[in-house]
């Protein structure tokens, strides 16, 4: 009986989770245009996204720019920029997430040099229509993405990428982010979620930005929700984790919002025989509070509102 009462108390204390599911434009409308470009973010905003998501890495001179990882292009492999053509001599051996790789790395370039690059579609075979826009768009700074969100009146959902990697290079991305937030004159308590896969970074953000800023713990598996609730307001987990029995209900009991990633329209990224809309329905039925998607327009059309 005691345990049941306790559960009811926890449920009563949990934040309201009955609101609309947020449409979070993952790297912009990145299913349609090269990711992390002003064009992709603008398209997402036009399509009714609630939030736009930039992943952030730091240049050699410490500016935050919108890229998914510190590798700008792999020699002879995946590339999200034309750096191999603009700076062929800068190729070197390095590592990405602990794996040896030869390529071009953001920490070797100043912001002015990044300004000479243009974006490319990461998966040209999967998304040829997006690849048709290769080499058209510049690589935006965090300041440019923040200014766009502010002008358009949509939320911003930045992720600090590879904080330990940049710390080893003498770049404190938390301090840089705090400075850049102030420079952008963004209300840290407004439509802003800040995300990281690195709990120490989230704890530092809590310290730096105060108790009211909304922080999201990212994970590739189900995290210890009790622990996460001591420093974050939400969790971002793969859709398969979010759909595990009782995961979302448990997160809500701990007062954590759940924003699963990443809903993509192509069949290869969806469970067998499930459409984009069916996956969205399943997440909504399970109680997800938002979803990261490469196709914000399609999500908005299906969910309505916006
Ligand atoms: O930030 C949510 C989701 O974007 C995490 O995955 O690798 O696309 O940044 P990733
Ligand atoms: Ca991300």
What CATH number has the domain bearing residue 295? Answer: 3.20.20.190
Residue 90 lies in a domain: no
Phi, psi at 214, each rounded to 5°? -90, 115
Confidence at 55, pLDDT banded by 50, 70, 90 = very high
Q: Indicate whether residue 194 lines ligand 1 (CB < 6 A).
A: no
Residue 183 lies in a domain: yes
Separation of alpha carbons 125 and 122, rounded Å? 9
Residue 127 lies in a domain: no
The tally of domains found in the chain comes to: 1
Residue 118 lies in a domain: no
Q: Which ligand 1 atom is nearest residue 68's CA? A: 9
Residue environment code for 134-152, b if the CB has 16+ CB neighbours within 10 A, otherwise e: beebbbbbbebbbbbbbee
Contacts of 105 (CB under 8 A, 6+ apart): 70, 71, 72, 92, 94
| pLDDT for 306 | 74
How much distance in Å is there from the Cα of 8 to the middle of ligand 2?
34
Separation of alpha carbons 148 and 144, rounded Å? 6
- Percentage of residues in the chain having pLDDT higher than 70: 94
Q: Indicate whether residue 50 lines ligand 1 (CB < 6 A).
A: no
Walk across the sheet containing 55-58 and list its strands. Answer: 64-66, 55-58, 159-160, 193-196, 214-218, 234-236, 257-258
Number of residues that make up the chain: 306
Residue 106 lies in a domain: no
Confidence at 94, pLDDT banded by 50, 70, 90 = very high
pLDDT score of 1 more than 50: no
Q: Indicate whether residue 260 lines ligand 1 (CB < 6 A).
A: no
Comparing CA positions, the residue from 175, 173, 145 lying closest to residue 161 is: 173
Indicate which residue's Cα is closest to atom 5 of ligand 1.
Answer: 261
Global pTM value = 0.93
**First CA to last CA distance, the chain:** 43
| pLDDT for 19 | 66
Q: Give the helix/strand (H/E) hosting 11.
A: helix 2-13
Residue 84 lies in a domain: no
Residue 117 lies in a domain: no
Q: Is the peptide bond before 262 cis (omega within 30 degrees of 0)?
A: yes
How much distance in Å is there from the Cα of 278 to the middle of ligand 1?
21
CA distances from residue 89 to 23, 69, 101 in whole angstroms, order as listed:
41, 20, 16
What are 213-246's pLDDT values in tens digits? 999 999 999 999 999 999 999 999 999 999 999 9
Comparing CA positions, the residue from 12, 4, 14, 23 lying closest to residue 293 is: 23
CB atoms within 10 A of CB 172: 16
Indicate which residue's Cα is closest to atom 10 of ligand 1.
Answer: 68
Residue 81 lies in a domain: no
Q: Which domain holds residue 55?
A: 2-70+139-303
């Amino acid at each position: 009986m005691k345990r049941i009462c306790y559960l009811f108390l926890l449920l009563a204390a949990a934040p309201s989770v009955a609101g609309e599911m947020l449409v979070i434009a993952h790297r912009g409308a990145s299913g349609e245009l090269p990711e992390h470009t002003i064009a992709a973010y603008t398209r997402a905003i036009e399509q009714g996204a609630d939030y736009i998501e930039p992943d952030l890495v730091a240049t050699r001179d410490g500016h935050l720019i919108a890229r998914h990882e510190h590798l700008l292009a792999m020699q002879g492999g995946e590339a999200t920029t034309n750096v191999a053509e603009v700076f062929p001599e800068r190729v070197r051996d390095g590592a990405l997430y602990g794996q040896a790789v030869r390529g071009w790395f953001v920490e070797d370039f100043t912001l002015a040099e990044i300004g000479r690059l243009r974006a490319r579609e990461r998966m040209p075979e999967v998304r040829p229509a997006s690849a048709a826009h290769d080499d058209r768009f510049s690589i935006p700074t965090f300041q440019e993405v923040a200014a766009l969100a502010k002008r358009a009146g949509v939320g911003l959902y930045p992720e600090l990428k590879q904080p330990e990697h940049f710390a080893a290079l003498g770049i404190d991305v938390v301090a840089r982010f705090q400075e850049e937030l102030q420079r952008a004159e963004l209300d840290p308590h407004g439509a802003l979620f800040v995300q990281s896969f690195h709990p120490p970074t989230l704890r530092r953000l809590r310290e730096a930005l105060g108790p009211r800023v909304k922080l999201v713990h990212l994970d590739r598996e189900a995290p210890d929700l009790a622990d996460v609730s001591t420093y974050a307001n939400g969790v971002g987990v793969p859709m398969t984790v979010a759909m595990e029995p009782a995961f979302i209900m448990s997160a809500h009991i701990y007062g954590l919002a759940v924003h699963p990633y990443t809903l993509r329209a192509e069949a290869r990224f969806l469970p067998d025989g499930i459409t984009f809309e069916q996956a969205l329905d399943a997440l909504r039925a399970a109680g997800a509070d938002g979803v990261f998607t490469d196709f914000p327009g399609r999500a908005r059309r299906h969910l309505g509102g916006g």
